[in-house]
Structure 1
Amino acid sequence: MELMNEKKFGFGCMRLPLLDKEDPTSFDYDLINKLFDMYLEKGFTYFDTAYTYHGYHGEEGVRKALVERHLRDEFQLATKLPLRDFKDSCDMERIFNEQLSNCGVDFFDFYLLHNMGSNVFNKCEKYGAFDFVAKKKAEGKIKVVGMSFHDTPELLDKILSKYTDKLDFIQLQINYVDWNQPNVNACDCLEIANKYNKPVTVMEPCKGGTLVNVPKEAEKLMRDYNPNYSIASWAFRYAASQKGVFRVLSGMNTIEQVEDNASFMQNFEPLNEEEMAIIEKVTKIINENTAVPCTACEYCTHGCPKNIPIPKYFSLYNSIMRTTDSFSSQMVYYNNIAINHGKASECIGCKQCESACPQHIKITTHLKDVVEKFEKIALFLLEKFKKDKIS
């Protein structure tokens, strides 16, 4: 297939730079424009956004920074149909037309069924989502049809066995930590995609940035092998080295990140055996130091009845689980966040977050762990402090 002609990397637009980290729509256009322009100057063209990104304003941000500033033939644009959001067949049409307007284009180079899984598959069959994207392709409003997938290899096999003629490629979460993780099954899912000869785009190669900030012991292994390699480059090259992968997405927030990624993706070289062996050791170290495998995609927060900032709490929880000397500082962050958001203890157990989580994390269970660390222990220490002060 033509998609497999060369290794490429795409610009993932799920985490664009912001002026205010608390406002997902406060785009830092000065910086975004520079990042997009440099990426294009490096010879790359693929931008990946979605209807739901940045509080449902991600497509608008890409339009202003990319579409309104560059000729249409200078870039390739990918966006996605929100499978949780559409109500029926007519609603898919409405959303699609809205997306064309949001992005300011007449067609999409790539269009994906977004976050396919067991929670939405029956809905997609009921309302003909696969037929819908095939129809739009026939009309010339989509050039290439794909599907981003977060579920079991068995479901992927089932979908491809029924709809292989309607899907040109698959987007999978592939990184060295998730390669054999049972909640992601990256290796087995890639094997299924290869079985049906579906080229693969990789999302989350750095697992939401967690594979950039690896434990010191793991970082040393990488630096000792080659001090000139960035930590991120190991993750990207690992993903791009896999059979069937034709593109790896990167959410870039700095000029340095664009320069670094381009440096090893322009003339891509797969990992060698020695490097793969180092990755195995690094993976073991990371697994031993990560309590909750959250990528901070924030899908879980959409519609949370208690406005609980789940990824932020999990990030703080992971931080204190990695080291014993970070509790006090992480507690400050927790309390500051909780001023304008729900506390972990306010979770009502509705589990809408778990049905939306691409990582299939048992969120409500882990929120109880957060409560134990940041609320119960904190209360105990506060009471102890008061007693010690009185005595």
Structure 2
Amino acid sequence: MSNINRRDFLKRLGLGASVAGLAFAGCEKAAKKGSTDNVITGDIPEDKMTYRVNPKTGEKVSLLGYGCMRWPTVSQESGRDGGEELDQEVINDLVDTAIRHGVNYFDTSPAYCKGRSEGATGIALSRYPRESYYIATKLSNFAPSTWSREASLAMYHNSLKELQTDYIDYMLLHGVGMGNDGMEEFNKRYIDNGVLDFLMKEREAGRIRNLGFSYHGDIAVFDHLLSRHDEYKWDFVQIQLNYVDWKHAKEVNERNTNAEYLYNELARRDIPAIIMEPLLGGRLSNVPDHIVSRLKQRDPERSVASWAFRYAGSHPDVLTVLSGMTYKEHLEDNLRSFCPLKPLTDEDNMFLYETADLMMQYPTVPCNDCKYCMPCPYGLDIPSILLHYNKCINECNVPASRQSENYREARRAFLIGYDRSVPGLRQASHCIGCGQCAPHCPQSIDIPAELHRIDGMVERLKREV
């Protein structure tokens, strides 16, 4: 099958933006898929975790890292702010399970879980000896109100307090390259205010053990920071890497950079890579049926998601692969992938690159559910809207017309699922196009345009009884 990008796909279909999502007549309805369907069962060994060595410190870091962006919450009825209270008891249990099986790297941020992730992570980890785990957090000074030296330093010191520690193992400049002008914003956040100089001095003092950055968007910023490596001496860099983004990142979004380039640039400078989005925001665990069949035929005992984790972990200059594991079954599945890692072969990699070519035929919205676009000033649940649309694209529940064989069933599934996934007052119809969300999106999605397109599709489906 030929490899075409999203824009070319829509052009060949002759679809305008308002009906771009209605391109899947004739699809058979897909069953609901989870990332742990038909996986290897049985006990997970507690002494088989694969570790990588930090070349600077000699630290043995677990190849599976715990991403703390999506900690579980309590029920909507008892939770604060509509079910957003973190469930500390469940978080503690997840951390206990992870540590028992050898996970020792935990990645959080002041921006995660509406500002509550660091506190919950600190509570869970403080029950263990400090030297038994590594904490990664970030200076997440996205908002202009936090660009001053005073505000940025206050955020840094608050991270130490929330995490109940007097030093950070892995400190990141968060999301460099974001914004309309990546270099201008980077300078305002970290250079003009002297914050990067401060963090480097904190590293000299030992309160930061490793200093790096997470990259999104503007490649000029990435290249600039690596060109200054002799001065900044980056200890690590966090990049988005998966078997789709290896060669197709720019096809998904023109501002993205293929992971092949990012990884190779780090490797030739001996800078360890931390991997984020190995599942591409969950999309590589919830793939179309024909992709599921393809992966299962090659290895029936492994989950769909395990292919993505093993792919990321098989790159030798990767220090750890982050996964935001909200549920224990996801944690257990990932532990099976890394306890120990069975590296992919060259033949396996070619198989996955061919799989990525096939996946690029499906014009989903490149939302990674990071929630950086939230909160919406008008109350929309932006990630849920986009993820429901993507789910229906993958499951072929977006009918092309009333003449489609599966029209009635697909229409009902889309509309009912939409109402269940997104409360009425938080749906796309309430978007006024203010544009406040778009500059915060690491994937550079034109969020208002996508919301208006999806709302137009919903209104059309409602009318076509």
Find the residue that maps to 1:208 and give its secondary structure.
coil
Instruction: Tell me the CA shift for residue 93 of structure 1.
Output: 1.4
Counterparts of 1:129-278 in structure 2, within 5 Å, are: 129-166=195-232, 167-180=234-247, 181-182=249-250, 183=253, 184-185=256-257, 186-278=259-351
The residue number in structure 2 matching 1:100 is 160
**2:215, 2:162 → 1: CA distance?**
24
The residue number in structure 2 matching 1:74 is 132
The residue number in structure 2 matching 1:388 is none
Alignment pair present for 1:354 and 2:419:
no
- Cα deviation per residue 1:176-202 (whole Å; 9 max; x = unaligned)? 122222133222222222243211000
- Pick from 115, 122, 127 the counterpart of residue 193 of structure 2: 127
**1:64, 1:6 → 2: CA distance?**
21
Alignment pair present for 1:112 and 2:172:
yes
Instruction: Tell me the CA shift for residue 333 of structure 1.
Output: 4.0
Question: Which residue type is aligned with residue 63 of structure 2?
Answer: K
Find the residue that maps to 1:207 and give its secondary structure.
coil
Question: Which residue type is aligned with residue 34 of structure 1?
Answer: D
Question: Which residue type is aligned with residue 360 of structure 1?
Answer: S
Instruction: Tell me the CA shift for residue 344 of structure 1.
Output: 1.9
The residue number in structure 2 matching 1:318 is 390
Instruction: Tell me the CA shift for residue 108 of structure 1.
Output: 0.9
Question: Which residue type is aligned with residue 63 of structure 1?
Answer: G
The residue number in structure 1 matching 2:3 is none
Instruction: Tell me the CA shift for residue 122 of structure 1.
Output: 2.5
**2:97, 2:205 → 1: CA distance?**
33
Instruction: Tell me the CA shift for residue 75 of structure 1.
Output: 1.2
The residue number in structure 2 matching 1:298 is 371
The residue number in structure 2 matching 1:389 is none
Instruction: Tell me the CA shift for residue 243 of structure 1.
Output: 4.7
**1:341, 1:64 → 2: CA distance?**
35
Instruction: Tell me the CA shift for residue 115 of structure 1.
Output: 0.9
Contact 1:3 1:246 in 2 (8 A): no
Q: How many residue pairs are counted as aligned between the two chains?
A: 379
Change (3 A) 1:271 1:107: same
Alignment pair present for 1:373 and 2:457:
yes
TM-score relative to the length of structure 1: 0.89
**2:454, 2:428 → 1: CA distance?**
7
- Pick from 12, 19, 39 the counterpart of residue 74 of structure 2: 19
**2:83, 2:437 → 1: CA distance?**
19
**1:51, 1:14 → 2: CA distance?**
10
Comparing 209-218 with 1-10, which one deviates more in the overlay?
1-10
- Cα deviation per residue 1:362-384 (whole Å; 9 max; x = unaligned)? 22221121111123442x23xxx
Contact 2:388 2:421 in 1 (8 A): no
Alpha-carbon RMSD across the aligned residues, in angstroms, is: 2.2
Question: Which residue type is aligned with residue 439 of structure 2?
Answer: S
**2:84, 2:392 → 1: CA distance?**
30
Instruction: Tell me the CA shift for residue 244 of structure 1.
Output: 2.2
Contact 1:218 1:281 in 2 (8 A): no
Find the residue that maps to 1:135 and give its secondary structure.
helix
**2:151, 2:372 → 1: CA distance?**
21
Change (3 A) 1:108 1:223: same
Instruction: Tell me the CA shift for residue 49 of structure 1.
Output: 0.5
Structure 1: runs of 5 or more not aligned: 386-391
**1:154, 1:3 → 2: CA distance?**
29
Contact 1:80 1:114 in 2 (8 A): yes
Instruction: Tell me the CA shift for residue 148 of structure 1.
Output: 0.8
Give the fraction of aligned pairs with identical amino acids, expressed as a percent.
Answer: 32
The residue number in structure 2 matching 1:9 is 64
Instruction: Tell me the CA shift for residue 231 of structure 1.
Output: 1.3
TM-score relative to the length of structure 2: 0.76
Contact 1:319 1:326 in 2 (8 A): no
**1:332, 1:256 → 2: CA distance?**
27
Higher helix share: 1
Question: Which residue type is aligned with residue 103 of structure 2?
Answer: F
Change (3 A) 1:242 1:351: farther
Q: Which has the higher contact order (CA 8 A, sep 6+)?
A: 2
**2:294, 2:270 → 1: CA distance?**
35
Instruction: Tell me the CA shift for residue 137 of structure 1.
Output: 1.2
**2:425, 2:163 → 1: CA distance?**
31
Contact 1:150 1:359 in 2 (8 A): yes
